[in-house]
Each structure stands twice: as structure tokens, then as C-alpha cells.
A and B are shown apart, each in its own frame.
Chain A
């Protein structure tokens, strides 16, 4: 386990370096003038020249990369034009909102997706299975941003069940900042009204964000479950007199959950990309909304920083899933 941990860690560090190279290439080796890009659309020639020397755009490419990489390591992501803050500070401020939304959403996807996949497999070809399958086939094609709008329209406006956006009502004070996640902070400070309000606000965006991933988790888990249930070791377990529920819920599930886990890792990328869409639909003050506002204002450095942060987050999530996989499947450990 330890050697696998080290191996994966080294691998992840390599990937992070690769990510840094990509953002460097996009921001420094573009066809246009990178200094002009960094300075923003309204900059004067002098400002551009000042930025050019300040940030080393006039130096050789390799040297530029090292400057860039060391800057990033020290938390220097540049300055945002539209918020006028250091990008680093902005990211720190906006990250918890995105983290809360994404984690809440992936939890919904997993906690609903796996049981529904199992139910669908066990009731194969019944009407339940058919309904689940139809919903899943449609789910993958649903544009998240449009689904978000339609949820707002129906559950928010038509039925009035949920608020239209934001993390809390405008007049509500957020809970004392401990983790920055309103749900957790409200619980920690025993502020239950705010907890419920935050929960109320997060449900629609989380549903919009998780739906495609949920659909694909159900599909894969169903297929894997069906495959597992025909395996010889299931026949043996039955011959031992082990109950059907236990066979499905333990023996077959543990085997079929492994490939599903790999898929969750992949789909996590959809969700991180989707935050940009969902946050801008629901006015969710996170990194996604920040990025879109920056990108449409040609405010370039926040976009690069967000790419780095979300990319690193995706890599880290997959690193964790790799470890979990190794822990659950003894065969992987052996191969390393």
C-alpha cells in the first residue's frame, strides 16, 4: 500500500508539472501578445510594456517558464482586472462555495447512482428497470445549463419550492467562517436555520450539476452488476446458503463497484467543468462564476488560475480514487 501511495504521488506530481506547462503555453506562448493579454483590453501601450518587463515576457521562453512556475508556487497568480484583487485572494475566497457545491453534488450522484444501478440490474427488464434506463439515456445528453434553467423555471418559479440562486438569501448573514462551507459551518455553530437555508439553496444547482454524472454512474453500475451476477463465485456463494440480499448487497456490489469507481473519477471532470455553467445559471459565487466573468471581460489571469486549480483538483480526486481502488481490490496492490 505504501509503495503504491508513493508511486501514485510521484505520478501526480508529474501530472501537475504537465498541467503547469499547459497553462504556461496557453498564457505565454500564444499567437498574440501575452503581455497585452495579461494587461487586459483597456491597457495603454505603456501599461503593456510595464507588464512585459515586470513579468518577464521579454525573456527567453525557458526562463519565462521558471519565473512562471516559481511565481505559481509562491501563490502569485497575477491580478484580476475585474475584481482588482490578487487572483490568489479571489480564488481562496471563491473556492469553498465551489467545493461545497461539487462535493454535495458528487455525493448525490454516488448515493443515488449506485443503489439505482443495483435496483435496475436486479429488476432487469421490468418496468422499473426500463424507466431508470430511459432516464439515464436521456441524462447524458442533457445540457447542464439548460437543465439548470428549466429547474429554476419549474421548481423555483412555477412551484416556488426552491430559491432561484445564491448560497443564502440576500438578507441572511453567512455562518461564522470555519471551513467556508456554509452547510458545515452552520452545523458546527449549531445555527440550524442557516443550515436549512443553505441546504435549500444548494439542492437545485447540485441536481443540475450531478445529473449527467448520475445517469452515467447508474448505467455503468447496472451493467457491471449484471455481469458480476453471472460469475461463478456468485453461484458458489449461493451454494453456501448465503442469502440473496447479502449476495447482491455485499458480494456482487463490491465487485461491480470497482469499475464504477473508475468511472466516477472520470465523471468528476464533467462536474468540475459543469460548475462553470451551473454557477453562472444559479449565481453561485464560486470559482466557476468568477472564471466566466473574467473570461467574458478578457480578464485573463483568473481564467488561467482557475484552470490550474480545477485541473489540480481533478488530478487529486483521481489520485484518491486510485488509492481507494487499491484498497478495495487486493489484486491491484500486487501489480502496483
Chain B
């Protein structure tokens, strides 16, 4: 305890007693949920790989495609846990560094999708009328095209590359948020406390920022967590097809795309990046499921 905290009576703990109690309840619900804890565990490992990656990997220079032909296509061993690829780079190193790329992809894609989708959803739900009609119809059309196909089309126009792949995925991803937030806003708009706020003369913006946005937070967090995984999967799919990150960029999908040419004899080359995608997506999904159980129990599929 620091001195400033002691002089500050009643302490932080007392002033936030109810928040702490709620957090404790959430924590306990979450801890009792086995699969959510598994998800949290996987994501923790993933984040550790992101944070410590360059310092813990055995061959940092291999991340960007250093060439060491003497060591090419070595099976997994003590010095190369996941084996080596066709130019002799350490697959383990590249998979660990790939976590950074994936996190970046997940954050950017879901970030942009939220940035476009959430305001549109709130506007649609709150303003209503033809504005809502217009926004929702456009959203519906986007939602009724298979996402990956649309992303391929957009990536095809923009040309291959990790940046374009992220842009394409973001352009495909936002409608989901519009749908989610519009529905939530509609139900909140009719809620008692919004009526009360309106009756005491609160302005529209104030209602949006004080009453609606904070209440949309739970579903956004839950969907955001799941979408992190799905965006990583989407980017890996584009990478695999050759429309996303280009080798030797350490992106998991792109690694598999090269590695498949070396099947079946050099199976480790595509096996380990695939496991990485699988576990990461699984982790984010389980985490999202667990978060939904505590934050938004009624919002199941």
C-alpha cells in the first residue's frame, strides 16, 4: 500500500465495493467454466508469444526469411523443434513470430469493422426511418454474400499482399456489427431508463454516449473476441490461396501455402503453422463463449 492511498479515506476499495463484488462474481463464473479457462490459457500463451517472440525464438533472423540452405527441410529435432523449411529457416521461429502478424491482423480487421459497424448500427437503431432502412438493406446485402468470396474479389482487385488482405477482410466484416448493434440499440431505445433520461431532457448525443454505448459494450466485447479468431482464420485462408501475405512473410496461412508443396515427406512444414491457426482460433472462440456466459447470457446464437 502506498502512502497516498492510505490518506485517501474512504479508500478505493470502499468506494468501488459494488464494482469489485461484480468483478469477483464474473471471475468466479469464468473460473468455473472449464472451456473458457482453456481458452484463456491458449490466448495467454499466444500473447506471451507476441510479447516475447523476438527474444525467445532460437533463430530470430529466420523470421523474415534468412536463407540457410545447408539446413533445409530438416525434421523436428532438439535444435529445430518444428523442423526447418525449404530455405533452412526454423519453422518454430517463424510460427512464434507469426503470432505477432496474426494478432496484428485480428486487431486491425476487427478494429476497422467495429469502427465502421458500431456507429452505423447505433445510427440505424437510434434514428430509425429511411436512414435505418437504407443502412440495414445495405448491411443485408453484404451479409448475404459469403464473406470469403467477397474478400477474394476485393483482394483480387487490390492485388495480393498482407495489407490488402486486411483491408478486404475489414470491408467484409463490418456488417455483422451493424446488425448486432442496431438490434441492441433498438431494444435499449425502448428501455425504461432511456425514456427516463429523455423525459428529463437529456440530449440525443448524451443518451447515445451515456446510456446506449456502454450497454452495447458487452456484446461488442464478446463478438470482438470471436472475430479476432475468425479474422485470423480469414487472413490465413487468403494467405493460403496466395491472395494475402506473400512468402517469406511469416504469416501462418502463407507458410502452409508453400508447405503444402512439400507434403507428405516434409509434413512438419505445413502441420505446425496449421496447429497454430487452429489453437489460436479455438482460444479466441472459447474465450468469447466464456465471456458471453458472464456478460451476455441471453445472447447465444
A interface list, Cβ under 8 A from B: 14-15, 18-19, 21-23, 26-27, 30, 32, 37, 137-138, 140-146, 149-150, 152-153, 157-158, 216, 219-220, 223, 263, 269-270, 272-274, 276-277, 280-281, 291-292, 294-296, 298, 300, 303-304, 306-307, 310-311, 314-315, 318
A296-B242, A314-B145 provided; 6 other pairs, C-beta below 8 A?
A22-B142, A143-B277, A145-B256, A149-B256, A273-B146, A294-B156
**Is the C-beta of B50 less than 8 angstroms from some C-beta in chain A?**
no
Cα A149 to Cα B229 with chains together (Å)? 20
B137's contact among A14, A158, A220, A223, by CB below 8 Å, is which? A14
Closest A residue to B157 by beta carbon equals: A30
- Secondary structure class of chain B's binding surface, majority of residues: helix
Partner of B241, one of A32, A157, A216, A292: A292
Jot down 11 A-B pairs with beta carbons below 8 A, ordered by A: A137-B35, A138-B278, A141-B229, A141-B233, A157-B263, A223-B300, A280-B241, A292-B243, A307-B149, A310-B149, A318-B144
Give the residues in chain A near B285, CB-CB below 8 Å.
137, 140-141
Given known pairs A145-B256, A277-B240, A315-B144, the reply for A32 and B157 (CB within 8 Å) is yes
Most buried by B among A140, A142, A157, A304: A140
Contacts of B149 on A, CB cut-off 8 Å? Answer: 272-273, 276, 291, 306-307, 310-311
Contact indicator A143/B263 (Cβ below 8 Å): no
Q: Fill in one digit per residue for B134-145: 1 if any A CB lies within 8 Å of its CB, else 0.
A: 000110111011
Separation of A310 and B148 alpha carbons in the complex (Å): 11
B138 touches A143 (CB 8 A): no
Say whether B274 faces chain A, with CB atoms less than 8 Å apart.
Answer: yes
Secondary structure at chain A's binding surface: helix, strand, loop or mixed?
helix
Asked if B59 is at the interface (CB within 8 A of a chain A CB), the reply is no
CB-based contact B241/A295 at 8 Å: yes
Contact across chains for A18 and B282 when beta carbons are under 8 A apart: no
Q: Nearest chain A CB to B261's CB is how many angstroms away?
A: 11
Residues of A close to B145: CB separation below 8 A: 19, 22, 269, 307, 310-311, 314
Contact B237 A277 (CB under 8 A): yes
Q: In the complex the two chains form, is A146's CB within 8 Å of B153's CB?
A: no
The listed residue (A15, A19, A143, A292) touching B274 by CB distance below 8 A is A143
Chain B: minimal CB distance from A308 (Å): 9
